[in-house]
C-alpha cells in the first residue's frame, strides 16, 4: 500500500477503534492511547551490534532487555536523497531498501544509506528527507516533530544523548536546520527556539573527553557569550548573533529560563525529589566519555581509533562522568512532573562512533551502556508509571560498519552471522565498512499502543522478516496522540 493510503487507512481504523460504539470495549482497548512515549535509539545499532552485545554480556544471542518486548520487527532507514554524505559531492535520488538486493548480497547495502540527521528527521516527523537535514523537508521547509506534537498536547518533551546535545539525533527531535554540521545554529535553536523541557548530553566546552579541564572549545555549545548566559542560568540569552529569546515550556505564557547542570553529582541528585521546570544538562566531556576515553580533542581519526582496540572493559571508564542511565533518570524525574504526560528521546550515540572506528571492544561497551539504560527505563516505567499508560520503543537510526561474520582470506565476511565465543568473550565478527549501511535495523515496542506497529509492518525481507519504515514511528505517534 502506498504510504498516504496506508496512513489514511490506519487513521480510520484507529478512529473507529476509539470512537465507535459498534465495537465492544474489548476491541476499543486493542490500541491504547499512551500518556507517555519514550523512544530509545541506538545510533548505528544494527541487529549484529545488538547480538554482539548480548553474546558478550549474557552468552546468548537474544537475552538483552528489548528482546523480551512483545512487538519485534525490522525497520528500513533509507533517506529520500542520499549520496556521498561526509565525503563531499552531490546528493542524489534513488534511495530505497531492496529486499532483492539484500538477498543477493549484503554488500549491496553499502550504498544509498542514510545519515543520522535524515534518519532522526524521518523518525521524528514521519517524512523522508535528504542526508544532512535536521527537521526540514526536501525544500528545506521545517516539518513538525514529535516533541512539538507533545507540546501541542500540553505534554512535556525531552532529549537525552551520550554524545554532544546538539548532535544529529537529538537535533532531529528538537530543531529545524538544513545542515546537521552547523552545531552553533542547532544549539541556538534547541535552547532558544524550541519549547523543550529537558535537553541532556555532552558537548561541554571546558572539558576534554575524559573530563579534564581544557581551554574552551565552543564547537558544540554556541559561542562564549551564549555559554556564559547558560552558566549564569540567566533569563536573557546572549550570543554572538545578539540577544536570543526564550520560549514558554510550562504553558503559563511566560518564557522559561534553563537551569544548567554539569556535574555527575547534580545528575544523580536530580534523579529523585524536586526538579527545576527546565533542565539543561551538559556533562563535563567534550564529545563522549567512554568511546573517546584516552583520546585527545581533535585527535586524528586513525590515531584515536587505533587506541580503541582493547577488549571491552579492559581500560577503566571515566567514573567522574554520568552514564546514559544517570542522565535518563534526571530527565524522567523532570518530565514526569506534567500530569498530561511526556515525550522523551534517549540516544546511545556512541555505538555509531565505535562502529565508524571499527572498535569491537568499545562497540560492546556502548551497547552495554545503552542496554543498561533500556533496563533502567523498563524498571522506571514499572515502578513510576505502567505499561497501560506508557509506550516504549527501542530501535536504531541506521546500521554502521556493515558488521557481519568473520572475514575470510579475501578480506570480506563470508557469512552474515556472527559467532559466539561464550559470555565475556568477543564474538567472531568483522566490520566491512567505516561508514553507514542501508541494512534494516531492529525495532522493539512495548506498552500502551505498541500493537499499532503490527498494522505498519506490512513489508517483508527474506533475511530480516517483516519490517516497518522509519517514518512510521512518527506517523504512529501522530495517530496515537490524535494529531
For cell 524550541, the residue is 194
Measured from the CB atom, the residue of 34 and 53 that comes closer to Zn ion is 53
Comparison of 86 and 465: residue with beta carbon closer to Zn ion? 86
Classify residue 191 by its DSSP letter. Answer: I
- Residue 438 bridge partners (DSSP): none
Nearest approach in angstroms of CB 318 to Zn ion is 22
> From the CB of 102, what's the least distance to Zn ion, in Å?
20
Closer CB to Zn ion, 116 or 275, in the complex? 116
Alpha-carbon span 432 to 419, nearest angstrom:
16
Categorise residue 94: left if φ over 0, alpha if ψ from -120 to 50, beta otherwise.
left
Least distance (Å) from Zn ion to the CB of residue 43? Answer: 7
State which residue has the least CB distance to Zn ion.
352
- Smallest separation (angstroms) from Zn ion to the CB of 133: 15
If the CB atoms of residues 352 and 472 are measured against Zn ion, the closer one turns out to be 352
Cα–Cα distance measured from residue 143 to residue 172, given in angstroms and rounded to the nearest whole number: 10
Residue 437 DSSP class:
E
Q: Which is nearer to Zn ion, 366 or 376 (CB)?
A: 366
Looking at the Cβ atoms of 147 and 437, the one nearer to Zn ion is 437
Report the SS3 class of residue 282. strand
Q: How far apart are CA 444 and CA 40, in angstroms?
A: 10
Alpha-carbon span 55 to 419, nearest angstrom: 9
Taking the least distance from each CB to Zn ion, the nearer of 166 and 378 is 166
Q: Output the smallest distance, CB 168 to Zn ion, in A.
A: 8
116-153 b/e with 16+ CB inside 10 Å = b? bbbbbbbbbbbbbbbbbbbbbbeeeeebbbbbbbbbeb
Minimum gap (Å) between residue 47 Cβ and Zn ion:
17
The alpha carbon of 24 is separated from its chain's Cα centroid by a whole number of angstroms, namely 38
**Residue nearer to Zn ion on the CB measure, 164 or 341:** 164
* CA separation for the pair 242, 433 (Å, rounded): 43
3-state secondary structure of 199: strand
Give least dist CB 441 to Zn ion, A. 13
Nearest distance from residue 466's CB to Zn ion, in Å?
26
Phi-psi region of 132 (alpha: psi -120 to 50; beta: other; left: phi over 0): left
Contact 158, 334 (CB under 8 A): yes
Residue closer to Zn ion, measured from CB, 34 or 348? 348
Smallest separation (angstroms) from Zn ion to the CB of 357: 10
| Residues found near Zn ion in the complex (CB under 5 A) | 352
- Of the chain, the end-to-end C-alpha distance in Å amounts to 22
Amino acid at each position: 500500500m502506498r504510504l498516504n493510503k496506508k496512513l489514511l487507512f490506519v487513521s480510520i481504523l484507529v478512529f473507529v477503534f476509539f470512537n465507535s460504539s459498534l465495537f465492544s470495549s474489548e476491541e476499543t482497548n486493542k490500541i491504547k492511547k499512551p500518556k507517555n512515549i519514550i523512544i530509545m535509539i541506538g545510533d548505528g545499532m544494527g541487529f549484529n551490534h545488538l547480538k554482539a552485545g548480548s553474546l558478550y554480556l549474557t552468552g546468548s544471542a537474544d537475552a538483552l532487555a528489548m528482546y523480551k518486548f512483545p512487538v519485534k520487527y525490522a525497520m528500513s532507514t533509507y533517506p529520500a536523497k542520499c549520496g556521498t554524505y561526509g565525503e563531499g559531492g552531490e546528493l542524489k535520488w534513488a534511495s530505497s531498501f531492496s529486499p532483492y538486493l539484500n538477498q543477493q548480497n549484503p554488500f549491496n547495502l553499502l550504498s544509498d544509506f542514510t545519515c543520522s540527521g535524515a534518519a532522526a528527521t524521518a523518525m521524528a516527523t514521519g517524512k523522508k528527507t535528504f542526508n544532512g537535514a535536521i527537521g526540514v523537508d526536501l525544500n528545506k521547509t521545517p516539518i513538525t516533530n514529535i516533541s512539538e506534537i507533545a507540546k501541542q498536547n500540553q505534554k512535556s518533551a525531552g532529549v537525552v544523548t551520550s554524545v554532544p546535545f546538539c548532535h544529529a539525533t537529538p537535533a532531529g527531535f528538537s530543531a529545524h536546520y538544513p545542515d546537521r554540521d552547523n552545531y552553533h545554529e542547532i544549539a541556538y535553536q534547541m535552547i532558544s527556539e524550541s519549547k523543550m523541557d529537558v535537553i541532556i548530553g555532552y558537548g561541554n566546552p571546558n572539558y576534554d573527553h575524559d573530563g579534564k579541564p581544557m581551554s574552551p572549545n565552543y564547537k558544540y555549545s554556541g559561542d562564549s557569550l551564549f555559554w556564559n548566559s547558560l552558566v549564569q542560568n540567566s533569563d536573557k540569552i546572549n550570543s554572538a548573533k545578539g540577544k536570543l529569546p526564550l520560549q514558554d515550556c510550562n504553558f503559563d505564557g511566560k518564557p522559561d529560563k534553563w537551569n544548567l547542570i554539569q556535574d555527575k553529582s547534580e545528575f544523580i541528585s536530580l534523579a529523585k525529589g524536586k526538579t527545576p521546570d527546565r533542565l539543561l544538562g551538559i556533562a563535563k566531556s567534550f564529545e563522549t566519555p567512554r568511546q573517546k576515553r584516552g583520546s585527545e580533542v581533535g585527535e586524528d581519526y586513525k590515531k584515536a581509533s587505533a587506541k580503541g582496540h582493547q577488549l571491552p572493559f579492559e581500560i577503566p571508564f571515566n567514573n567522574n562522568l554520568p552514564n546514559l542511565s544517570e542522565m535518563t533518570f534526571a530527565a524522567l524525574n523532570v518530565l514526569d512532573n506534567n500530569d498530561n504526560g511526556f515525550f522523551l528521546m534517549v540516544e546511545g550515540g556512541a555505538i555509531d562512533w565505535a562502529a565508524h572506528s571499527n572498535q569491537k571492544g568499545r562497540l560492546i561497551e556502548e551497547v552495554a551502556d545503552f542496554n543498561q539504560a533500556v533496563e533502567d527505563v523498563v524498571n522506571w516505567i514499572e515502578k513510576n508509571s505502567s505499561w497501560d499508560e506508557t509506550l516504549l520503543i527501542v530501535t536504531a537510526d541506521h546500521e554502521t560498519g556493515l558488521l557481519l561474520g568473520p572475514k575470510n582470506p579475501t578480506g570480506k565476511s563470508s557469512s552474515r552471522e556472527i559467532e559466539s565465543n561464550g559470555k565475556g568473550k568477543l564474538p567472531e565478527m568483522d566490520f566491512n565498512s567505516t561508514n553507514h549501511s542501508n541494512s534494516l535495523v531492529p525495532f522493539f515496542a512495548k506498552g500502551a499502543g505498541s500493537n499499532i506497529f503490527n498494522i505498519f509492518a506490512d513489508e517483508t525481507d527474506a533475511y530480516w522478516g517483516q519490517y516497518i519504515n522509519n517514518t512510521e514511528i512518527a506517523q504512529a505517534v501522530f495517530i496515537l496522540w490524535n494529531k
